[in-house]
Amino acid sequence: MSLPYYISWTKQKDAASFEIERVDGCQIFSPNGKVYIDMTSISYQAHFGHNHPVIIKYLKEQLDTVPMSSPKGIYPHKNEATYDLLQYMGKKDGKIFYTTGGAESVENALKIARDFTKKKIVLARQNSYHGATLGALAATGDWRNPAHMTPEGWVVRIPEPFETDALKKTREIILNNHPENIAAIIIETITGGNGVYAGTKEWWQGLRALCDEFGILLIMDEVVCGFERTGKSFGYMHYGVEADLICLAKGISGGMIPFGAVWTSDKIAQFYEDHLLCCGLTNYAHPMGMAAMRGVLEIVKEKEFQENLKKIEGVFAEELLKLKALSIVKDFRVHGMLAAVDLHKTVDGKKFMEEGLYLVAQTNRIILAPPLIMKEELLKTAMSKVTKVLKENS
Ligand SMILES: Cc1ncc(COP(=O)(O)O)c(C=O)c1O
């Protein structure tokens, strides 16, 4: 039966949906009694489970004080929470532009980069997703781009990091497109839904060097990788490379309220001291988003959270290694609590749902990104269910 609203990224007649009666921690309870273990943090945003009490506490407090958005308003904790975010990101300077989600973070980062440099072209990977707004989708290289006739001519693809001579070819692409026209390179620090591919440290450092040589800004898309997802607080911390702009969303509010942010370097922040910042949202720095972020910043510093995370990262890696013994499994990539398992054939997502698992099943691949608060026992149970489904569908 057709629903009165759309289901995203699918033919509506084929749309797969499921009923949720309640959620608890890392599990989703259906009215028909079925329980699903969430193995992808829904859409890579439920880092702290589905109803973390610390985030709920801050949201409830905010509802009782200043619940309404006011882009120019300074309400209690807005400044402190922002300084806290900067510190957590390891940033001594620069400024935050708040948004309501990942695509808007990317959109505003692209706008700021083009405005700051007064250049138009953006370089991006083919194997990428940056969001569903027109600009973010134009930068996106995966299957979601072509359908939308995104504005042509200002996004140029660079080679994937593992291609032979990737940096040399990128340099040639820059020269062919004239560096004086190129505003930025936008890259996910590790691709999420596109297969968990990370560039090497050398590749990232090479990209940074090209940016410095040609006056191009480096935009890092941390929408999936930020907030402890990949074994460090942020993906960029794996590479020792500084960005000019960093896009955040998803984990910033644990998915409990729409929220996002863009960090801009001090150079960019100084520029806007006497240049018009032509960016804005009605729900800019929304108090409810800020409240959720305060909860997140408190959780990530908790000793108990960090200890559990280190433990389950080890368990996750071991369990993935065991999967490799299955005949259907071709390969896997794992960074912290984000993994892609490549398969010799496609396993229908319904098979995992029937087994009580919520995860992302793609053509010849599954993506796993369990909530970071999951306990070892539940993770092992979930991985044994993954094993069972994969074995049965070999
Ligand atoms: C890397 C990346 N960037 C941006 C986005 C867009 O975020 P949102 O869906 O919150 O607009 C996503 C969403 O999945 C993403 O994975």
Give the tens place of pLDDT for each residue, 299-308.
Answer: 999 999 999 9
For residue 340, give both structure tokens. 């892609």
**In this structure, which residue's CA is closest to atom 13 in ligand 1?**
131
For residue 107, give both structure tokens. 């959109």
Residue 1 pLDDT greater than 60, yes or no: no
Bridge partners (DSSP) of residue 218 are 185
State which amino acid sits at residue 216. I
Residue 205's SS3 state is helix
Average pLDDT (152-160) is: 91
Which ranges in 33-101 belong to alpha helices (H)?
41-44, 53-64, 78-88
Assess contact for 154 and 138: CB atoms under 8 A: yes
For the whole prediction, is pTM greater than 0.95?
yes
Q: What is the DSSP letter of 181?
A: G
Helix 376-392 vs helix 303-323: angle between axes, to the nearest 10 degrees?
20
Does 54-299 carry CATH code 3.40.640.10?
Answer: yes
* Residue 14: predicted pLDDT: 87
Region of 265 on the Ramachandran plot (φ > 0 left; ψ -120 to 50 alpha; else beta) = beta
Determine whether the shortest distance from the Cβ of 259 to ligand 1 is under 6 A: no
Domain borders along the chain are 54-299, 303-347
Ligand 1 atom closest to residue 249's alpha carbon, by position in its atom list:
10
Assess contact for 174 and 138: CB atoms under 8 A: no
Ligand 1 atom closest to residue 191's alpha carbon, by position in its atom list:
1
Residue 125's SS3 state is strand
Tally of helices (H runs) and strands (E runs) in the chain: 12, 15
Determine whether the shortest distance from the Cβ of 101 to ligand 1 is under 6 A: yes
Ligand 1 atom closest to residue 188's alpha carbon, by position in its atom list:
1
Of 359, 365, 362, nearest in space to 26 by CA: 359
* Residue 338: predicted pLDDT: 98
Determine whether the shortest distance from the Cβ of 184 to ligand 1 is under 6 A: no
Give the tens place of pLDDT for each residue, 166-212.
Answer: 999 999 999 999 999 999 999 999 999 999 999 999 999 999 999 99
Give the tens place of pLDDT for each residue, 230-259.
Answer: 999 999 999 999 999 999 999 999 999 999
Ligand 1 atom closest to residue 258's alpha carbon, by position in its atom list:
10
Determine whether the shortest distance from the Cβ of 124 to ligand 1 is under 6 A: no
Region of 196 on the Ramachandran plot (φ > 0 left; ψ -120 to 50 alpha; else beta) = left
Percentage of residues of the chain with pLDDT beyond 90: 94
Instruction: Report CA(185)–ligand 1 centroid distance (Å).
Output: 17
Kind and range of the H or E run holding 29: strand 27-29
**In this structure, which residue's CA is closest to atom 16 in ligand 1?**
224
Residue 149 pLDDT greater than 70, yes or no: no
**In this structure, which residue's CA is closest to atom 3 in ligand 1?**
130
Give the tens place of pLDDT for each residue, 327-367.
Answer: 999 999 999 999 999 999 999 999 999 999 999 999 999 99
Determine whether the shortest distance from the Cβ of 223 to ligand 1 is under 6 A: yes
Between CA 3 and CA 17 the distance in angstroms is 10
